[in-house]
Amino acid sequence: FNIALEKVIRSVQSNKLGINIGKTTLDVLGFADDLNLVGENKEMIVRNTKTLIQEAKKIGLEINEEKTKIMETLPEKDEEDLTVDNYVFEKAHSFKYLGVTITGNNDWDTEITSRLLKAERTFFSLIKFFKSKLFSRGTKVRLYMSIVRPTLTYGCEVWPTTVQIEQKLRSFENRVLRTICGPFFDSEINRWRRRKNKEIREITIVPPITSYVKGQRIQWFGNMRRGQTNEVRAAIEYKSTSR
């Protein structure tokens, strides 16, 4: 299957229609059978899509019309769907690619909110373990660091975080760590109380999630800049002026 699909992709690439980055033309992004056609304008997308449809049919493959969407970046000029041959592809303002939500206006708040919801579900699916007295606090911290936090921070290397987003990340993590630590009996006021943020950090010794995200971003950027091809560096520094 991969060999057959590779032939189709190369046929599209032979059009040499896409976004020019350095000496490379970026036209098809693919992972398994999940393809993304990119271009400077609508005409490029139409021609590449026609080639994709025609070449795929030659080897018995069909485009999934319902799952295939078209999206513009930068200010959108119309809300029309895209018609190519007998296919009508719905105009979308966002779509998921490899588990990440991509939006036309580069609004990462949508993706980060989605990650928070997934992390919430993961946390609550494990809540009985986090509240159990059978597991040590260290085990619970490792459970959070190995399952919950990775769910939340998937793809964080490219997050352009804001103050509001960082606050949401901190609030979620503090709630999880507070559950792990449990309440504290304060002899000064003679009653149980919630642990303060500073206290849960001292107990769990977990680096703040905002620091982790920033570290991942710097590490990823460094890896991309260091020892990569000119095309990779050009892609990092590329600024689109089209749709």
Under the banding of pLDDT at 50, 70 and 90, the label for residue 3 is confident
- Cα(4)–Cα(12) distance, integer angstroms: 13
159 and 52 in a common domain: no
188 and 121 in a common domain: yes
DSSP state of 237: H
122 and 89 in a common domain: no
Tens of pLDDT, residues 105-133: 888 888 999 999 999 999 999 999 999 99
Domain that includes residue 162, residue range: 107-225
Instruction: Please report the pLDDT score of residue 74 as a whole number.
Output: 67
Tens of pLDDT, residues 17-53: 888 877 778 888 888 778 889 888 889 999 999 999 9
207 and 111 in a common domain: yes
89 and 53 in a common domain: yes
69 and 44 in a common domain: yes
Q: What is the pTM of this model?
A: 0.78
- Cα(68)–Cα(116) distance, integer angstroms: 26
Instruction: Please report the pLDDT score of residue 121 as a whole number.
Output: 97
Final residue of a domain: which of 40, 74, 102? Answer: 102
136 and 211 in a common domain: yes
111 and 82 in a common domain: no
Helices (H) and strands (E) in the chain, counts: 10, 11
124 and 98 in a common domain: no
Under the banding of pLDDT at 50, 70 and 90, the label for residue 102 is confident
User: Is 82 within 8 Å of 42 (Cβ atoms)?
Assistant: yes
